[in-house]
């Protein structure tokens, strides 16, 4: 029996004519598209919790709940975006669709309405602007779902199988992600916190418009690797005058309304994620059983294990957009080089260290490889999680050693970010690369979706963990710094231990996992 999943594989990537600086030209198209997409994504994300708690006067707990629900959905949707791309739309069309939705969503965020006020001890919010805000978030969720997994999969497709440049290609791609994240935290964070939230969100929207423009003008360099599996099927009429492609677009629009409904209901979001994960596991079980050789099944199982481990890393990492933001806003000195940085701007430190360290790692892997000393993917994962744990140890020590002013010195935060980012580079780009090389090619976008689904779970867990450090302002609207510090310090040291413990477990399992990889690097 054949299904559309079994249709002809994409053409083999060409190697010589379409290269620039040792990599396929398409890599640079993906690099800049994703750079601008992440500019808009993180420009919005660094402002989100501050905007909710300071402008719409959400409590910390309600702010974390919404952050978790939004970020959970944003990373769960790539399962659907990946699946639809694998089976029907292809990656190129999916990226364009996602890009359009993202432009609408980010520009919608720039509508901020009236600031919430406290009247007779109760908070009065502008209901209409909050609805527009939720709808904009829904558009972003759907947009990321279609863009993010597929642009990452295209990168893997640009290299012939077993090409040693693939890990470096992903490290460079990852650098693009972080150039975007870095600039956006600086620009959107500064505009949003000092000139007005709508300026920050608006700037994010403009970034996404540029990203879409880059992709539309550069898509011819993708070497036909991102086309639909079965183009005539997309043109076939399936509903009255509507062809399949139009029906998919209509379904996506309906999906935006579903997400709009879900986003304010964290419990419903959790169940949606559980349902998605269950469907994915059942579908994968069926696929492994009926469509894979023994070796492919083992490789897919190793990939699944790696995806599960990545969850620990992301649950720690995502504190940077939650508890770390409120920590730096409330209990930390933020002055350096004569400038008082805003909390959202300081979130740029993560991306800054990534692109300082990326060239080093991009150089290191092929070199270690040639010397026969390249650590295996599971070992890199284990080390990555250990480093994430260590960064929390650093920050916990900082939180327990405030200066004379009672606030924590900025350099603890800088050091913690540095350590965390070494961990991120050990795990995240390597993970993307592992997805494309360990997955059976026919379901690679779907597995990329599964990779991001792990992030989705981590986002929910991260928000739940962040909530443990909630502090509510006193009657005068101020925060008790000493009390807040002790809550942050407790959370950070617990997370430090969790990271160290989990990382060591992964390192111990490395030999077993390596065997299941059957030589794939």
Question: Is the C-alpha dihedral spanning 350, 325, 126, 134 positive or negative?
Answer: positive
Q: Which residue's Cβ lies closest to ligand GLN?
A: 455
Binding ligand GLN (rule: CB under 6 A), the pick from 28, 135, 201, 314 is 314
Q: How far is the CB of 91 from ligand GLN (least distance, A)?
A: 16
Task: Spell out, one character per residue from 94 to 133, where the chain touches ligand GLN: x when CB under 6 A holds, - when not.
Answer: ----------------------------------------
Q: How far is the CB of 452 from ligand GLN (least distance, A)?
A: 6
Strands 237-239 and 19-20: unpaired
Contact 49, 458 (CB under 8 A): no
Does 455 bind ligand GLN (CB under 6 A)? Our answer is: yes
Number of residues this chain uses to bind ligand GLN (CB under 6 A):
6
Q: How far is the CB of 314 from ligand GLN (least distance, A)?
A: 5
Buried b or exposed e, range 144-161, using 16+ CB within 10 angstroms: bbbbbbbbbbbbbbbbee
Q: How far is the CB of 482 from ligand GLN (least distance, A)?
A: 33
Estimate to the nearest angstrom the gap between the alpha carbon of 453 and the chain centroid. Answer: 10
Token reading at 350: 């993560």
Does 40 bind ligand GLN (CB under 6 A)? Our answer is: no
Strands 19-20 and 23-24: antiparallel
* Residue partners of 72: CB distance under 8 A and separation at least 6: 269, 270, 273, 456, 457, 459, 460, 463
Does 45 bind ligand GLN (CB under 6 A)? Our answer is: no
Q: How far is the CB of 53 from ligand GLN (least distance, A)?
A: 23
User: Which DSSP letter does residue 320 get?
Assistant: G
Going by C-alpha positions, the residue among 341, 87, 340 that lies closest to residue 228 is 87
Q: Output 55 or 353, the one with its CB closest to ligand GLN.
A: 353
Binding ligand GLN (rule: CB under 6 A), the pick from 66, 177, 214, 346 is 177
CA–CA gap between residue 215 and residue 217 (Å, rounded): 5
Does 38 bind ligand GLN (CB under 6 A)? Our answer is: yes
Q: Output 292 or 325, the one with its CB closest to ligand GLN.
A: 325
Does 428 bind ligand GLN (CB under 6 A)? Our answer is: yes
Q: Output 319 or 455, the one with its CB closest to ligand GLN.
A: 455
E strand map for 201-325? 237-239, 242-243
CA–CA gap between residue 3 and residue 438 (Å, rounded): 22
Q: How far is the CB of 211 from ligand GLN (least distance, A)?
A: 13
Question: What residues line the site for ligand GLN (CB under 6 A)?
Answer: 38, 177, 314, 428, 452, 455
């Amino acid at each position: 029996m054949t299904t559309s999943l079994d249709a002809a594989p994409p053409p083999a990537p060409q190697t010589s004519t379409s290269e620039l600086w040792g990599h396929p030209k398409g890599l640079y198209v993906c690099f800049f598209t994703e750079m601008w997409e992440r500019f808009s994504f993180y420009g919005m994300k660094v402002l989100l919790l501050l905007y909710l708690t300071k402008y719409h006067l959400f409590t910390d707990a309600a702010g974390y709940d919404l952050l978790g629900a939004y970020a959970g959905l944003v990373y769960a949707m790539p399962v659907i975006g990946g699946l639809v791309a694998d089976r029907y739309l292809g990656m190129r069309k999916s990226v364009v669709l996602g890009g359009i939705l993202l432009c609408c969503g980010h520009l919608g965020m720039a509508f901020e309405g009236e600031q919430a006020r406290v009247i007779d001890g109760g908070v009065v919010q502008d209901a209409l602007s909050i609805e527009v805000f939720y709808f904009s978030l829904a558009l972003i969720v759907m947009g990321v779902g279609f863009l993010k997994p597929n642009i990452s999969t295209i990168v893997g497709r640009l290299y012939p199988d077993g090409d040693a440049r693939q890990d470096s290609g992903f490290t460079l791609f990852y650098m693009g992600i972080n150039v975007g994240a870095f600039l956006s935290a600086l620009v959107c964070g500064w505009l949003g916190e000092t000139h007005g939230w709508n300026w920050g969100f608006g700037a994010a929207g403009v970034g996404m418009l540029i990203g879409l423009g880059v992709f539309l003008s550069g898509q011819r360099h993708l070497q036909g690797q991102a086309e639909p599996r079965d183009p005539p099927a997309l043109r076939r009429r399936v509903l009255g005058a509507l062809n399949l492609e139009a029906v998919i677009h209509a379904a996506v629009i309906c999906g935006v309304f579903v997400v709009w409904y879900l986003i304010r209901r964290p419990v419903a979001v959790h169940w949606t994620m559980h349902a998605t994960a269950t469907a994915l596991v059942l579908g994968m079980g069926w696929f492994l059983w009926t469509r894979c050789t023994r070796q492919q099944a083992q490789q897919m199982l190793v990939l699944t294990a790696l995806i599960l481990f990545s969850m620990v890393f992301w649950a720690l990492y995502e504190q940077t957009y939650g508890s770390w933001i409120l920590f730096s806003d409330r209990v930390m000195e933020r002055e350096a080089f004569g400038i008082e940085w805003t909390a959202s701007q300081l979130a740029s430190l993560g991306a800054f260290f990534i692109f300082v360290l990326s060239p080093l790692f991009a150089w290191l892997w092929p070199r270690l490889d040639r010397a026969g000393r390249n650590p295996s993917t599971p070992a890199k994962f284990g080390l990555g999680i250990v480093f994430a744990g260590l960064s929390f140890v650093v920050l916990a020590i900082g939180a327990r050693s405030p200066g004379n002013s009672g606030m924590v010195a900025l350099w603890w935060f800088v050091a913690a970010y540095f350590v965390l980012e070494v961990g991120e580079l050990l795990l995240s780009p390597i993970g993307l690369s592992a997805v494309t090389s360990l997955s059976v090619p026919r379901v690679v976008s779907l597995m990329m979706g599964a990779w991001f689904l792990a992030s989705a779970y981590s986002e929910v867990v991260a928000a739940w963990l962040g909530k443990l450090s909630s502090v509510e302002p006193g009657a005068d609207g101020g925060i008790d710094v000493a009390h807040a510090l002790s809550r942050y310090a407790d959370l950070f040291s617990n997370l430090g231990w969790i990271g160290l413990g989990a990382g060591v477990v992964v390192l111990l399992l490395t030999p077993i996992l390596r065997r299941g990889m059957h030589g794939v690097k």
